[in-house]
Amino acid sequence: MIDQVRTTRLPNGLTILTEHMPGLRSVTLGIWVRRGSRHESPQQNGICHFIEHALFKGTQRRSAHIIAMESDRLGGHLDAYTTHEMTGFSMKVVDSAMPAAFDLIADMLANPRFDEDDLKREQNVIIEEMKMVEDTPEEFLGELFNAAYFPNHSLGRPIEGTVATVSNFDRTKTAEFHAANYAPANLVIAAAGNVDHNEFVDLATQSFGNTNGRPPQSVTATVPAAASPIVIERKGELEQAHLIIAAPWPSATSSDRYVASMLGTIIGGSTSSRLWQSIREERGLAYSIGAGGNTFTDIGVFTIYAGVSPAHIDQVLDLSLKELRRAVREPAAEEELTLAKEQAISTILLSLESSSARVGALARQEIVHGRRIPPDEIIQRVEAVTREDMLALAQTHFTTESLAIGALGNLNGFAVDRSRLQM
């Protein structure tokens, strides 16, 4: 594959990335911030997500309505999201609209209005979002479980914050956090598609190239000490019981991440996986069943999730544990590993046709790894995974002491003790 990626780093720390994709008439561009909820203090919990929302409320040059109108006129969907480790804003447009799209996103991030009345209204919007989470059992269980799995750590706190914290985000607190954390050294500006690198660098430099800009606030993201909780939350009005089984897992930067990806796919990452076939296809015990790794820069968590009838939760737990024990005690079949590799490589190759996928990968790799990881390198690492690698990884991570359980719903007396988790 011919590498069409170019990188420019300005003296103020700003990183600018482009990937030229010949034959396209579209460009996906965006700005990513090296800040997420894990970089917040307990009192600031939710402020990254709050700022993500607040930036749409207007700038010194544009009202919220004008931002919405310009986004619609450009024909693209202006997307934004907040995770534990980053915040992203991106938009896909036709190539001729790239300067206008960049001006819109850059203005939102660099010149937010943060009007007090707007912020109060957005507080209400986010509190309604919190209520939606509470009304969505799988998301609500996820938040309860994370709080127990990462006790007293920012990874265990909800990305959207709490009613108490969000209600305190006035103009002063919001503007101060924005000024300290949206500095050029914390920004990754990227585009993929029919984009000229030098033109894009010029656009980014005009908006964020001030070498006298405020340095970013120094934040030390402490490595969490993962717990092994058993969280049982009874909620009798639910029709289903919701179950999480979790174990430690390689981080996003671990050299074992490719091995972990293949093992996760085999256990529960697809419709041909062991859990899907055993629990859904062979026994009809669940509609929603799956597993996979949730990875951060310094830690990972492997989770199995199932939504089942309360009458079946014990059986589904036992079947899930059976698959973990199987992964610990015997190598995967060669055909399972081959299938997982083919699936992963197909996903990588298909993503190369999407400017949105490619620009997202560019930004994430820069923030997580500090470099571009070419698709050829990823494919080579996937192809190098062996059955013995996966067996060793399972034996390291799926241990009695480190397994954790979460359950929510009408649980019919459901209970778990440590002896049941014996591997």
Catalytic residue numbers read 52
Distance (Å, whole) CA 161 – CA 174: 14
Distance (Å, whole) CA 344 – CA 259: 12
Phi, psi of 286 (to 5 degrees): -155, 150
Cβ-Cβ contacts under 8 Å for 166 (sequence gap 6 or more): 46, 50, 123, 126, 127, 160
Bridge partners of 300?
249, 295
Distance (Å, whole) CA 124 – CA 194: 40
Distance (Å, whole) CA 150 – CA 133: 19
Phi, psi of 33 (to 5 degrees): -110, 135
Q: List Cβ<8 Å contacts ≥24 apart for 135-141.
A: 137/235, 137/238, 137/240, 137/242, 137/307, 137/408, 137/409, 138/242, 138/288, 138/305, 138/307, 140/408, 141/233, 141/242, 141/244, 141/406, 141/407, 141/408
Distance (Å, whole) CA 292 – CA 303: 6
